[in-house]
Homo-oligomer: A and B are copies of this chain.
Amino acid sequence: MKALLLVAHGSRRAASNDEIRALTARIRDTGPEFDHVDCAFLELAEPSIPEGIRAAIRAGARQLVVLPYFLSAGRHVSEDIPGAVNSVRSEHPDIDISLAPYLGASPEIARLLVMQATEAGSRP
């Protein structure tokens, strides 16, 4: 079973965390690529990254992709998230846990921004 764990920063503002949960639900509806899709938070919200990984494994995941929902490659992306993932990896050497590039690294972002700006600019 393949699982995707979307990792966001987490916020004191509940609406921001709910926005992540709503996006997670939309990812679930996107297609059949992943059997299990959930989110986790680096801080300030639940579940934590280790808890999210363990929940996916309990749900049956044998292959798990962790994707940081971040725009820039700061310390959170380069150190904190890999550290949290590695802390669980050693508990489950039989599970294939990979870390995807953070969202901001996507080569598709530029095209998506142009598309979004073009739509906004053509509204009456």
Q: Give A residues with C-beta under 8 Å from B.
A: 2, 4, 6, 8, 11, 13, 15-16, 19-20, 23, 26-27, 29-31, 33-34, 63, 65, 67, 69-74, 98-101, 103-104, 106, 108-121, 123
Determine how many copies of this chain the complex contains: 2
Of the candidates B31, B63, B69, B106, the one whose C-beta lies within 8 Å of that of A71 is B69
Q: Tell whether, in the assembled complex, residue A116 and residue B100 are in contact, meaning their CB atoms are under 8 Å apart.
A: yes
Contacts beyond the supplied A13-B74, A27-B114: 18 A-B pairs with Cβ under 8 Å: A2-B121, A6-B113, A15-B73, A20-B72, A26-B110, A27-B113, A29-B110, A30-B110, A31-B114, A63-B121, A65-B121, A98-B121, A100-B119, A100-B120, A100-B121, A103-B113, A108-B112, A108-B116
